Structure 1
Amino acid sequence: MKDPMGIENKSMDIIEEVMCDTSFSKEESIVVKRMIHTTGDFDYRKIAVFQKDFVNQALRSIKRGGILFTDTKMAHMGINKKALAKACCEVKCFIDDEEVAEEAKRMNTTRSACAVERAASEGIDMFVIGNAPTALFRLLELAQEGKVEPQFIVGVPVGFVGAAESKEYLRASDLPSISTVGTKGGSNVAASIVNALLYMAVGR
């Protein structure tokens, strides 16, 4: 097969066959299938966790338009810009911002954590975190402090230091979210989740 959409559709058919042992809603299944398609990893059907009507809340928020924060340039690049524009949304990533870097040095913390603080200070309330556990931890602290009210959180940081724990912390919250159990995740996974939502909300 050489047709890109044909290849994708065939891939989705293969994934659909493996999804028979899950109990996701139709909309949740669409998101998980996109995660699997992006990674080639069927484990995501077992480790993806949706909370507080995440999909419907995220779809409502996206359809209203606004700004999404992401913790990495990789996730920023992976989100479909045509679909973003159709949804009247944009994505901001402050990881390379000089003021954020200076604040991180001053506070002896990560740029990712300071980038979240910057997003909250600008009134951003849709969060997509695929790499940095410190970003997710700080976001949840800010929410507890009443300094931000996230409409939804994509929380899928990857790695062996703090990633699993940050996602457990997210699942203990009362916020609409999607997370993954354990170490798996990543910026590509975060972008795939947002793309699945965008395609449901406004198409491609």
Structure 2
Amino acid sequence: MPYIKDPMAIETRSMEIIAPYLADFHLDEQTIKVYSRIIHAAGDPDYANIIKVHPEAIAAGIAALKAGCNIFCDVEMVRTGINKRRLAEFGGQAFCLVADEMVAKEAKAAGITRSMAAMRKFGTQLNGAIVAIGNAPTALFEVLKMIKEDSVKPALIIGVPVGFVGAAESKELLHTTAPVPYITVLGNKGGSPIAAASVNAVMYMLGR
């Protein structure tokens, strides 16, 4: 049977298929791009009902990326999915410390997850940066705690951890209390591909 082989044609056709699902949401052009990338990554149009994009999220992300910000990730899968070559064009890098030996030791000693320990290790490096969390609710809880208690202030939080223990709660806390711009999906859905797709959606809006 015939099928589309050209990568750009596949992406274009995918976005055409997704577009009707967003018609009733009355989104601006930039927000449509974020929604579309997330739905494309998930293969699930129902995501349109649970995506939450802070009114300042896209502008904040664009400004941070233009300024050469770094991106700090909770797991390697998120970092891998980010277009690092495109990021480097603006002077930024993507980091993940979940596999770092020192972070592992600190997490074990403190009785916390490696992702939590990694966020603590990043510390003030998160100021003005983009935080991308796709797997660990504990990492999102920790960043929100750092914002509240340590005055850490990322430019943008993309918080879409997936799962059944803490995922929905961490994202609800982000959505209802975060004093910084965010992109999230409510409930148990999410994951590393969604986090990376959200980052790339914002990054691809930058001209060069």
Q: TM-score, normalised by structure 1?
A: 0.95
Shift of 1:3: 0.7
Q: Distance in 2 between matches of 1:38 and 1:88?
A: 26
* Superposition map of 1:126-145 within 5 A: 126-145=130-149
Q: Which residue of 2 aligns with 1:201?
A: 206
Q: Which amino acid in 1 is paired with 2:192?
A: S
Distance 1:185 1:123, change over 3 A: closer
Conservation of the 8 A alpha-carbon contact between 1:87 and 1:198: no
Which of these residues, 74, 79, 82, is aligned with residue 82 of structure 2? 79
Give the 3-state SS of the residue equivalent to 1:200 in structure 2. coil
Q: Distance in 2 between matches of 1:181 and 1:106?
A: 32
Q: Distance in 2 between matches of 1:81 and 1:107?
A: 32
Aligned-residue CA RMSD (Å): 1.3
> Identity of paired residues, percent?
42
Shift of 1:147: 4.1
Pairing 1:175–2:180 present: yes
Shift of 1:76: 0.7
Shift of 1:42: 0.4
Q: Distance in 1 between matches of 2:207 and 2:83?
A: 11
* Superposition map of 1:92-111 within 5 A: 92-111=95-114
Task: Give runs of ≥4 in structure 1 deviating > 6 Å.
Answer: none
- 1:128-158, CA deviations, whole angstroms, 9 ceiling, x for partnerless residues? 0011000000000000013411111000000
Shift of 1:82: 2.0
List runs of 5+ in structure 1 lacking aligned partners. Answer: none
Shift of 1:24: 2.2
Q: Which residue of 1 aligns with 2:44?
A: 41
Shift of 1:123: 4.8
List runs of 5+ in structure 2 lacking aligned partners. Answer: none
Give the 3-state SS of the residue equivalent to 2:93 in structure 1. strand
Q: Which residue of 2 aligns with 1:186?
A: 191
Q: Which amino acid in 1 is paired with 2:80?
A: M
Conservation of the 8 A alpha-carbon contact between 1:86 and 1:202: no
Q: TM-score, normalised by structure 2?
A: 0.93
Distance 1:90 1:27, change over 3 A: same
Give the 3-state SS of the residue equivalent to 2:187 in structure 1. coil
Pairing 1:62–2:65 present: yes
Pairing 1:2–2:10 present: no
Q: Which residue of 2 aligns with 1:28?
A: 31
Pairing 1:159–2:169 present: no
Q: Which amino acid in 2 is paired with 1:105?
A: K
Q: Which amino acid in 2 is paired with 1:175?
A: V
Which of these residues, 138, 149, 155, is aligned with residue 153 of structure 2? 149
Larger displacement relative to structure 2 (126-135 or 48-57): 48-57
